[in-house]
Structure 1
Amino acid sequence: MKRSRSRSPEPLRPKRPKIVDGTTGLTIEALFEHDRCLQPLSPYAFLDMNSQHKSPSLADVPIIPPPSTRSSQRSRSSSPSRVNDAQYRVNHLRRANIFIDDDNTTSDVWTYVEKIIGNVEFDSHLDRVSDKLWIKSKELVQKPSGEAEWTEMLHMLIDELKDQKLDIVRNRDWCEELKPPVHNPPPTIPRKRRENQTNLATHEATFESSSIGVSTSPRYNSQSVAFPLFRLKTPRPDICIGLSDKSLEADLVPKKGRNAARSFLVDLQDTANLISDPHVTPVGLRFPFLIVEAKAGATGGNLYQAQNQAAVGGSAALQILQNLRDLRENQDLGQTRSVSDIPHLVFSITTEGPIHEIWFHFRRPDEDDFYMSCIGSWRTTLKYDSQNLVRHLQAILQWGNGDFRSDVLCVLQTL
């Protein structure tokens, strides 16, 4: 006998609906009759039905078409998170009352500056130094030299010209407290909207405290009170020149004694009464009067950037002198004493490769404005310009170790 093969049961086929006799046929007349008797649905009813029977999924997220290439490029270039150099000068510096190349420089300030820079005669020593600068500059322009190479050249030049009572420091962060204050606009919230937010926050805090049993402070929507915040960059000069701590200590010994003179400026700095060393980590350089901000076109830097940085650094150096003046006024206790002997003038050098500019920064004692004006510009690949730059630089260094030191020391001895 042949064994019958077991077959797997075949899947059940769906039953076809039976056509019932007497059903109205699908005719044009029947469709017209159906449309006439059917009540129209409102569009909201369809949305309600769709939301009830539709499960949430990624397909429900609306697809936003990508922006065009031109608009996307425009939005990236105008990103508010990055401020360009022009915006920084117009917005940030002006809100800190720092003005570059402003015409408000009066004749008396210019007269004093011209007296400083015209007080040096070109001798054989300056001639040798200027030749080194000229030769080195021509060597650097033949290569894609960066900021480090140009800064090193200028550092060697200043170190050869300065007196031992002056100190020179490179690439050190300054204290943020010395930056001029920046005016920021207040939050612009309509009065009615602010009251509604306050009432809502108070209601939420009351509900939470009653339900949890813990007192909570009102919560405000931080996004509703957001406003532009303007901040100055903290100075970090490529080169900084000031008075040596050891030399000031020696000058104060005859008036205050050795022990008191040794700790005098240190105590004032540690108690935050007078920050005379601007660096975050004190390095023994007091009362800076000349800073250098170097850039190189070969690496993307320019004079505009160097000027912005020098403007903040020069204003911070002026702030140190203003703090010294305020400290003496507070100790005078209302006594009549002239404070015109405190200088309110410092200098800066901005560079872009072989191009060197010298600026002076000044501030009037009873005003909050800081001004930065250019004395001149020289290209050190030209021999005559190298000689002129060295002569101006030597004049500023002599003033810093002469009249500037004497004026600062005169005030320190009265404290």
Structure 2
Amino acid sequence: MPPRTRSTTGRLPTRKNNPRAIRKAKKPAPSQRKTRSRAVRSTNTLAANPAPPFAAFPALTSPPLTDRPRTREKKRRRDSQDDHSEKRLQKKRQFALTRSTSSDNMEHTITIPEKGGRKRPPSRQSTSADFTQGTTSAQPSKDTGTYAHYRWFTLDKARVYVCSSPPPKDIQDRINAVIERGTSQERKLEVAAIAQQFCAEFVPALNGARRVDDSVEPIYRALSLLDKNQNFEFPRKIDWAPSLKPQVAQFSWRLLFPDRSNVNADEAVVSPSKRIQVDTTSNSADRPQTTMAPPPSPLLQPRQGNAILHTPRPDITMGLRHSTMVNTLVAKGISEDQADGFLKFLQEQQSLCSSPSQQDIPIRFPLLVVEGKSYSTGKFVFEAQNQAAVSGSCMVNMQLQLDELFESFASGSYTKKAPLAFSICTEGPHIELWVHYTTSTNGKRNYNMSILKTCHALLLAGVVDFLVVVDRVLSWASSEFADDVAKQLASVERATR
């Protein structure tokens, strides 16, 4: 820009004596420079607004609008065709998602990160459920229909049932012999003290976005305190052997249909009755000859497998210690070395899977599992029951394997007893005790589980009654159950020397 010069009078140039200022004043607006028709003024407008006096100078008249250079405007960024279509697709997806998302699953929807690493606006921050620890039970909750399908379709195919009715009378009598065992008054006071400590420890687990482990930990400490003689192991989150799961009989039917790929289009639209008449009257040489093998038996042999069942991984597994089982066998007249080696030999040869662990944890014949869910993770006790149903069937299968081993090798007499196992399912402070047993229908084994007792973790009276029943289960497992198992194992060991 040239420097500003003073006039001959020594003053700064004004609008009247500066041609550059006059040209700048007559510069039309950008909207008027786009078309010439807008710059042309009508006669009425000229009459009402006469031209200023300085417009008469020929040297100062503005050039035609067509010769005036266009001002530089800000260029609009043009996206490529791929980016443009991608943005439109993202907008359509977001619009469809906002219309189809209900209030129930809105919390889960907003926690999904957008494509391309874009940040969420502050109004759509993650909820507390997204900050849970990375455990197996702290993943975002699935649709409840998935768990219902798993129970009433998948578990049903394996004949594993979560029963809403009480067990049969003979099974109920055996259960009562366990949960109605005598308990001394001194022991009840000890259990009451444990229950009081349990309620106090459970309160922090209900405050804030807690993990599943936070609500299961008080149960673990309560079980450890109930095990006064240290007869049990309580490993957490161990992977069980898949071979313990029930076998699923998957039937299939083979349906063979005639090959109609060579049928003419005219014949395909003929009604079935007319098609039969055409086939019988037409010459056999005019149509293709199709030979169909005789239909086989519609019901094929069932294929055995258990891959459709989830392999158990309980939050807590309670079973007899290896040393407890060895000491019980020693009491039956077997040396300690022989008892230790015999249990390990049966486990290695897969003749008797007395330990469900794949990590060689010294635990034998588990009798109780704990499957817990937390409030803040959005999980339900329904899922915990599904998991406990498979774990309970595996514990029952261990006892059935022992019965089969005894019948195959031992020659002594033994009164066979119905197998029993137990599980604790939780959803926050809601705690349930279940029993697992087997029944038979048309010669096929059914794995059942029925509810025994429930309580709320913050109600002391209910917790005391609940832990008294659990303490009786532990007492039965360390005495009567361990003794029955030792009798069978001792008979098999003597018969196979």
TM-score (norm 1): 0.69
What letter is aligned with 2:445?
Answer: D
Give CA-to-partner distance per residue, 1:362-385, whole Å, 9 cap, x none. 114875111100001100111111
Partner of 2:421: 346
Give CA-to-partner distance per residue, 1:265-310, whole Å, 9 cap, x none. 1000101111100011220100001111011121111110000000
Partner of 1:106: 168
Unaligned runs of 5+ in 2: 1-88, 102-141, 263-305, 493-497
1:115 to 155, 174, 177: 177
Partner of 2:336: 258
What letter is aligned with 2:179?
Answer: I
Give CA-to-partner distance per residue, 1:166-185, whole Å, 9 cap, x none. 22111000000000012324
- Offset of residue 164 of structure 1: 1.3
- Offset of residue 69 of structure 1: 4.9
The 2-side partners of 1:289 and 1:192 are apart by: 55
The 1-side partners of 2:256 and 2:166 are apart by: 38
136-145 or 122-131, which deviates more: 136-145
- Offset of residue 140 of structure 1: 2.1
Partner of 1:270: 348
The 1-side partners of 2:458 and 2:422 are apart by: 23
- Offset of residue 247 of structure 1: 1.5
Question: In the TM superposition, what are the counterparts of 1:16-415 in structure 2 within 5 Å?
Answer: 69=96, 84-103=146-165, 105-119=167-181, 120-121=183-184, 123-162=188-227, 163-186=229-252, 188-190=254-256, 192=258, 231-253=308-330, 255-332=333-410, 337-341=413-417, 343-364=418-439, 367-415=444-492
Q: Percent identity?
A: 25
Larger Rg: 2
Per the alignment, do residues 191 and 282 of structure 1 end up closer, same or farther by CA in structure 2, a change over 3 Å counting?
Answer: farther
User: Does the 8 A contact of 2:329 with 2:339 survive in 1?
Assistant: yes
Per the alignment, do residues 258 and 141 of structure 1 end up closer, same or farther by CA in structure 2, a change over 3 Å counting?
Answer: closer
Secondary structure of residue in 2 paired with 1:275: coil
Secondary structure of residue in 1 paired with 2:450: strand
What letter is aligned with 2:465?
Answer: N
User: Does the 8 A contact of 1:174 with 1:236 survive in 2?
Assistant: yes
Unaligned runs of 5+ in 1: 1-64, 75-80, 197-228
Give CA-to-partner distance per residue, 1:326-359, whole Å, 9 cap, x none. 1111114xx6844414x40010000001110000
Secondary structure of residue in 1 paired with 2:376: helix
Secondary structure of residue in 2 paired with 1:156: helix
What letter is aligned with 1:372?
Answer: M
User: Does the 8 A contact of 2:162 with 2:450 survive in 1?
Assistant: yes
119-128 or 352-361, which deviates more: 119-128
User: Does the 8 A contact of 1:121 with 1:391 survive in 2?
Assistant: no
289-298 or 229-238, which deviates more: 229-238
The 1-side partners of 2:216 and 2:347 are apart by: 29
The 2-side partners of 1:279 and 1:385 are apart by: 33
User: Does the 8 A contact of 2:166 with 2:450 survive in 1?
Assistant: no
What letter is aligned with 1:138?
Answer: V
Partner of 1:212: none
Give CA-to-partner distance per residue, 1:86-113, whole Å, 9 cap, x none. 0000011111111112437212222222
The 1-side partners of 2:349 and 2:231 are apart by: 26
User: Does the 8 A contact of 1:102 with 1:371 survive in 2?
Assistant: no
User: Does the 8 A contact of 2:234 with 2:319 survive in 1?
Assistant: yes
What letter is aligned with 2:176?
Answer: E
User: Does the 8 A contact of 1:325 with 1:339 survive in 2?
Assistant: no
Per the alignment, do residues 230 and 187 of structure 1 end up closer, same or farther by CA in structure 2, a change over 3 Å counting?
Answer: farther
What letter is aligned with 2:421?
Answer: V
The 1-side partners of 2:483 and 2:237 are apart by: 27
Partner of 1:7: none
What letter is aligned with 1:89?
Answer: R
Partner of 2:47: none
User: Does the 8 A contact of 2:392 with 2:422 survive in 1?
Assistant: yes
Per the alignment, do residues 113 and 104 of structure 1 end up closer, same or farther by CA in structure 2, a change over 3 Å counting?
Answer: closer
* Larger RCO (CA under 8 A, 6+ residues apart): 1
Per the alignment, do residues 394 and 104 of structure 1 end up closer, same or farther by CA in structure 2, a change over 3 Å counting?
Answer: closer
The 2-side partners of 1:73 and 1:87 are apart by: 23
The 2-side partners of 1:239 and 1:104 are apart by: 26
The 1-side partners of 2:170 and 2:340 are apart by: 37
- Offset of residue 409 of structure 1: 1.1
Give CA-to-partner distance per residue, 1:128-177, whole Å, 9 cap, x none. 10111111222322333221101111111101111312221110000000
Q: CA RMSD for the aligned pairs?
A: 3.2
- Offset of residue 230 of structure 1: 6.9
- Offset of residue 115 of structure 1: 2.8
Partner of 2:106: none
Per the alignment, do residues 109 and 293 of structure 1 end up closer, same or farther by CA in structure 2, a change over 3 Å counting?
Answer: same
The 2-side partners of 1:138 and 1:180 are apart by: 38
What letter is aligned with 2:478?
Answer: N
